[in-house]
Amino acid sequence: MYNGKFYKSLKKPKVTPAPKVFKIAWTILYILMFLALSLVIIAPESVSRTKGIWYFSLQFLINVLWSPIFFIFEMPKTALFLSILLVIFVGVTIYFFSQTTLIAFVLLLPYWIWVCFACFLNWEIVVMNPEKRL
């Protein structure tokens, strides 16, 4: 899935982490995400629980779509749109998770912070590489 040639050809902001950092960070974040989801799934049934699971599923789909859009289809501008949606929907997920269990809320905060940072990086890549297509 990862197109190293395309990614290496991009101008990137100085704060861009090394690829190794991305791998470690995403591994930790996926573990935290699914621990949070597990806590919400086993929580007593409520409207917030149901909405939290629904928004978690939606944000996870957006998360999964981001990589092929950026790396395979080489569309950083479209990926930026997905990044913005991801920031919003992870925030909504966090809200509903916080209404269900405080621990799930805390477990998702690092994910939301990382997604905000990733959105910033995506924005900077779009700005620094105006010649790249949608």
pLDDT in tens, the chain (134 residues): 565 789 999 999 999 999 899 999 999 999 999 999 999 999 999 999 999 999 999 999 999 999 999 999 999 999 999 999 999 999 999 999 999 999 999 999 999 999 999 999 999 999 999 987 66
Q: Which of 39, 85, 77, 40 is nearest to 60 (CA)?
A: 85
Q: How far is CA 91 from CA 17, 58, 131, in A?
A: 23, 12, 31
Residue 130, H or E segment: none
Q: Which pLDDT does position 131 carry in this prediction?
A: 86
Residue 71 corresponds to which tokens in the numbers above? 């790396």
Q: Rounded distance, CA 95 to CA 49, Å?
A: 10
Confirm if 77 and 132 have CB atoms less than 8 A apart: yes
Q: Rounded distance, CA 116 to CA 83, Å?
A: 8
Question: Which class for 109: exposed (0-12), middle (13-18), buried (19 or more C-beta within 10 A)?
Answer: middle
Q: Which pLDDT does position 113 carry in this prediction?
A: 98
Q: Which pLDDT does position 126 carry in this prediction?
A: 97
| Length of the chain, in residues | 134
Q: Enter the pTM of the model.
A: 0.93
Residue 17: left (phi > 0), alpha (psi -120 to 50), or beta? beta
Residue 41, H or E segment: helix 19-42
Q: Which pLDDT does position 2 carry in this prediction?
A: 61
